[in-house]
Amino acid sequence: MAVCAALLLAACSETPAPTAKKAAEPAVAPITGRQAFQMTYPQARSWAADCQPMRIRSFNLPEPKSADGKAGAWEILWVSAAKGRQRIYTWSAVESEGNLHKGVFAGLEDAWRGPQGQEKPFSVAALQIDTPEAYQTAVAKSAEYLKKPGEKPQVTFLCEFTPRFPDPAWRVMWGQSVSAAEWSVFVDASTGQYLGH
């Protein structure tokens, strides 16, 4: 009996094992256009084996801030000729307005009747140049614009394939959209060549 009491007392006096600290959430960070493209590709491919990108564009969020060719959210429009459908996939560092959800998110399918107007889909393999490289080229070709006085708007990226150029091109824009951009530079998304502004 005395032995049992001693064992019970010893068991009660043991200090509890320290609980493992929960790992801190990694800080949210912007990513490049090609990284977002590659993150959405597996889901787009499982939706349609013949999927091709039609448009890639960046979104500037309050946090994380866009910088040096990276953005906090991206939208990739994928199309499937076999299905006659199109679908937008987004990647976002955080939950945000405009139906942006953290990580990769698939939007609803929509009808697609093939290339309409100027824009057409391009091969996955055609996207060789990432946005930080396109940004550096754009900055190098924008000295006159950048030295003008006044605060410049945030940079937005848009990748499309149009008859204007032989390959898909990154449009590096100082502004939120094509119509609102103060200045744009085109960079070949396959070769990195400066195409004009």
Is 54 within the bounds of a domain?
Answer: yes
Is 162 within the bounds of a domain?
Answer: yes
Is 67 within the bounds of a domain?
Answer: yes
Is 8 within the bounds of a domain?
Answer: no
160: left (phi over 0), alpha (psi -120 to 50) or beta: beta
pLDDT at 96: 77
What is the total count of domains within the chain?
1
Q: Give the domain extent around 73.
A: 31-196
pLDDT at 114: 81
Distance, CA of 106 to CA of 135 (rounded, Å): 27
- One digit per residue, the tens of pLDDT, for the chain of length 197 reads 554 444 444 444 555 555 555 555 667 899 999 999 999 999 999 999 999 999 999 999 999 999 999 999 999 999 999 999 999 999 999 877 777 889 899 999 999 988 877 889 999 999 999 999 999 999 999 999 999 999 999 999 999 999 999 999 999 999 999 999 999 999 999 999 999 98
Is 9 within the bounds of a domain?
Answer: no
pTM: 0.84
Is 14 within the bounds of a domain?
Answer: no
